[in-house]
Structure formats: structure tokens, C-alpha cells
């Protein structure tokens, strides 16, 4: 590979923006995981204190604080964020390989496929979170000053992204195979 091609890929503003954005997103996600990891034991161990505060404000008719459901939501959110963190790590590695001029490396096909599976995992965890959030929203309806608007729907954009990732993985795998065949004949 020529030095000019290597430097052009390294100086490409779009690739630079992709590197910076994926790094920043991973940093924000890591902070989110940390915050949720701190909140989860607080919800569990302070449930009696939280329940007492709710009863003091809303009366004895309020059902028990759903600490277990909220803790499971937080743990599922941590898992989803971890998968998203890995997703952006794969994307950043893919961007790096494009920057060095080797987009049709077999590793990129594997990265795209892994990104598809990670997206499926996030989608599944989102369904779990939505189901548990519905039970928490039913509990929250008892509270006088809490308004909880809950809307869950099918995310066709997410499904389309997953399909595109798996198709791109096949395209990249085929491109890598064609490159290997071409290099073998030269």
C-alpha cells in the first residue's frame, strides 16, 4: 500500500469524525454503566427507606415499592449498554481498517456480523426492559403526582439496521474472498 493512500485514509475528515464520535459515545456509555451500577444496589438496599418515603407522601394505600423490578430493569439496562459499547468498539475497529486502506479484510465481515448479533441482543434486552417498565408504570399510576406515559411499539428501523448489518457482513466476506482470489492469481 502506498504512503499516499495510507495518509489519505488517516486524514479523511469523515473517518476522523467517525473515530471521535465512536470514542465519545463509548465514553458516555461507560459513564452510564457506572451510574446504573451505582444506582442498582441503592434501589435494592434502600427499598425500605424509599417505601417509607412514598407511604409518608401518598398514604398506606400505595402498594410496595417495586424495588426488584426496578433493579432488574437497571441490570438489563447495564447489559444493553455493555452491548452497545461493544457495538461501537466494533464500528471503531471497522473505521480504523478503512482508514488504513483495508476495508475488505475478513475481520470486517466478522465485525459486521458481530454488530448484527449485538444489535439483536440490545433489541431483546429492550423488550425485557419494556415489559418490566410496564409493571412499574402500573405501580406508578397509584401515585397522585406521578404521570407515566408508556408507549411501546415495534422498531422497524432497528430491525432494518440488523438486516443491513448481516447483509453487509456477507458483502464484506465476499469482497475479502474475491480479493484473496485476485491476490492468488497475481
> For residue 147, is pLDDT > 90?
no
- What is the mean predicted confidence (pLDDT) over 21-32? 98
pTM over 0.75: yes
Given a contact cutoff of 8 angstroms between Cβ atoms, the answer to whether 87 and 165 are in contact is: no
Q: What are 115-125's pLDDT values in tens digits? A: 999 999 999 99
* Residues with Cβ within 8 Å of residue 116, at least 6 apart in sequence: 162, 165, 166, 169
Residue bearing cell 459486521: 112
> For residue 5, is pLDDT > 70?
no
- Tell which residue, 140, 25, 35, has the closest CA to residue 77: 35
Q: Which residue has the higher pLDDT, 82 or 179?
A: 82
pLDDT of the residue at 32? 98
Which alpha helices (DSSP H) does the chain contain, by range?
3-11, 13-45, 47-58, 67-99, 106-140, 156-185
pLDDT of the residue at 120? 96
> For residue 62, is pLDDT > 80?
no
What average pLDDT does the chain have? 87
Amino acid at each position: 500500500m502506498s504512503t499516499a493512500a495510507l495518509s489519505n485514509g488517516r486524514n479523511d475528515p469523515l473517518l476522523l469524525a467517525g473515530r471521535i464520535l465512536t470514542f465519545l459515545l463509548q465514553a458516555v456509555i461507560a459513564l452510564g454503566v457506572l451510574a446504573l451500577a451505582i444506582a442498582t444496589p441503592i434501589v435494592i438496599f434502600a427499598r425500605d427507606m424509599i417505601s417509607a418515603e412514598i407511604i409518608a407522601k401518598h398514604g398506606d394505600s400505595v402498594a410496595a415499592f417495586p424495588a426488584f423490578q426496578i433493579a432488574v430493569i437497571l441490570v438489563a439496562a447495564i447489559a444493553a449498554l455493555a452491548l452497545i459499547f461493544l457495538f461501537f468498539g466494533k464500528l471503531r475497529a471497522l473505521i480504523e481498517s478503512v482508514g488504513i486502506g483495508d476495508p475488505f479484510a475478513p475481520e470486517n465481515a466478522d465485525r459486521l456480523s458481530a454488530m448484527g448479533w449485538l444489535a439483536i441482543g440490545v433489541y431483546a434486552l429492550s423488550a425485557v426492559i419494556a415489559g418490566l417498565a410496564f409493571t412499574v408504570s402500573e405501580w406508578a399510576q397509584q401515585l397522585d403526582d406521578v404521570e407515566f406515559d408508556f408507549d411501546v411499539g415495534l422498531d422497524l428501523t432497528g430491525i432494518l439496521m440488523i438486516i443491513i448489518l448481516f447483509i453487509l457482513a456477507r458483502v464484506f466476506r465476499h469482497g475479502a474472498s474475491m480479493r484473496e482470489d485476485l491476490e492468488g492469481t497475481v
